[in-house]
Structure formats: C-alpha cells, structure tokens
Amino acid sequence: MNANKLIKISFMALMLALIAGCEHDDVDPASSLVADDDVVLVEVDGAPVTLPMLEFLMEVRGIDEEDTEGMRELLDELIRIRAVANRAAEEQVSSRPRVRAERMVKDIEVQYVRYLEHFQRQNPIADEEIRAVYEAQLERAGDRRYQIETIEFPEQAPALRQLEALRTGDAAFSDAIAQASEEGRVARRTDWIDASQVPADFAAVLAETASGDVVESLLPYQDKWLLVRVAEIDALAPPSLDEVREGIRRTLVRQQSQSMIEQTFERAEITPMLPLEDASAGPP
C-alpha cells in the first residue's frame, strides 16, 4: 500500500474517531457562539435568536433597517428555523455523524473565509507594488504581439520528430496539421499573444522567429507539447496601468493570501492521532 493511500486511510479514520467522540455531545455550537454582550431578541425553547443573527440575514437578503415589515418576517423565519433545529437536537438528528461533520466543516469554512477577508483588509496592496508588477510585465511583453498556430502532441518524442521533419523540409506544416486531424489531436490558431504569456525561454526563441516560420522549440502546455508556427506578427500596444490595475491587484491579493495560508500551515502543530500502521493494518 502506497504512502498516499495510507495517509488517506489515516485521515478518514481520524475524522470518524473525532465524529464518534462528539456524537453524544449535546452542546449547541450556535449557543456557544453567543457573546455576553449580544442582544438576545427571543429564546426558542431556551435557544437564543440574537440581534447579530438578524442583522446578518438582513445583509444577506438585502433588507434595509427601514423595512420594518421585512425585518419582522425575517425574525419570524429565524424563529421557525431555530425551532426546527431544536427539534433536530431533541430527536438526535444533530448527533448523527454526517450531520455533525457537515456542521464542523461549515464552521471552519466560515472562519477560513472571514479570516482571509480580515487578512486582506489588514494587508492592503500598495500602489507601488501594482506599478512594479505592471512595469515588469511591460518589459517581459516586449514591443511585438503574435498570432501562432499550434499542433498538440501528447508526448515529447513524436513532437521532436515532427519538428525535425519540418526543419529539414521533409514535411510541410499543412501536412502536420492534416496528420493531427486524422489522429484526433488539436491544431488551432490562437488569438493575439505577447511574450509575457509564454515561458521565458520559449519567448526568447519566439522573438527570433519570422512570420510564417516554425519556432525552433516546443512549447510545453498542460502536460502536452505544442509545435508552434508564427502566423502573424504585429506591433504591441500595451494597456495603460489604469486598465489593468484591478487585475494586477487581484492577482497580488491572491498570491499574498496563498503565501499566508502556506506559512500558517507550516507553523501549525499537527499531531496525528492514529498511527499509520494501525490505520492500514486491516483485518487479520
């Protein structure tokens, strides 16, 4: 049994153990989230419905504070939901392993999303960072744009053989396209691209290729290999910073958040509760 499968088994066993351990816990997680200074609007069989709960749903549903009737209807809905949730607890539906697991996962998902929002507010992207990325992209993009024709190969070796045949004149690009069509491989012409949209080493070779010629290197793409011919070359008119500012900002936010996630993961104290050998032993 390989290591990945062992880890998967261990994880599933651990989750089952956690759920089973909680199965008879009657503490309502929603009630434990109520702070001392929260305004309780009503109790339903002793379980609170609070003002923050109502305000949250108002925001989600788009109900304004001036909409008194809408607020009353929403509070009534909350009370009904709370009453049914109480009944679920009474009849131990809430204690079923799958239900408890779903509640736990949703709870950590909410915390995850809200912390990301908090982190991004606390660490805004500076305009200087956006400008630096923009200028680097301009430099990498160069002053030309290309339309290219590509032929897909699932493996590198046949792609290299085809490239050599084109280089020596033993085959024409149109023949390579026809063969790809017969074999069910993808051959297409792209929209306009620039050098920043391909790997740097390929971009360097692309810049030395004239219109109508086949590029002397293969382009790796999604576990496949592309044979490339330059169909057309034109001058590149780059977008202004204002046109791409928001896209760059979103990319930097995503990168910064992912870095935080990885750092948090690395510093977390992770304690396996079941040894892999126990999880993988199976029946005698």
**Looking at residue 214, what DSSP letter applies?**
B
pLDDT of residue 280: 53
Q: Which two tokens stand for residue 12?
A: 């599933």
Q: Which two tokens stand for residue 78?
A: 């909350």
Predicted confidence (pLDDT) per residue in 118-145, tens digit: 999 999 999 999 999 999 999 999 999 9
Q: Which two tokens stand for residue 165?
A: 């045949």
Query: Phi and psi dihedrals of 45, rounded to 5?
Result: 55, 35
**If we measure between CA atoms, which residue out of 22, 87, 83, 24 comes closest to residue 48?**
83
Is residue 144 a contact partner of residue 207, using CB atoms and an 8 Å limit?
yes
Q: Which two tokens stand for residue 253?
A: 């936010």
Helix axes 127-141, 241-267, angle to 10 degrees: 110
Q: Which two tokens stand for residue 170?
A: 């033993």
pLDDT of residue 14: 42
CA angle 112, 115, 99 (to 5 degrees): 30
pLDDT of 281 > 70? The answer is no
Sequence-distant contacts of 169-173: CB under 8 A, at least 24 apart: 173/149, 173/214, 173/229
Predicted confidence (pLDDT) per residue in 33-91, tens digit: 888 899 999 999 999 999 999 999 999 999 999 999 999 999 999 999 999 999 999 99
| CA dist., res. 108 & res. 30, Å (int) | 13
| CA dist., res. 159 & res. 176, Å (int) | 10
| Distance from chain centroid for Cα 62 | 27
Rounded to an integer, the average pLDDT of 189-214 is 93
pTM over 0.75: no
Predicted confidence (pLDDT) per residue in 21-39, tens digit: 444 444 455 567 888 899 9
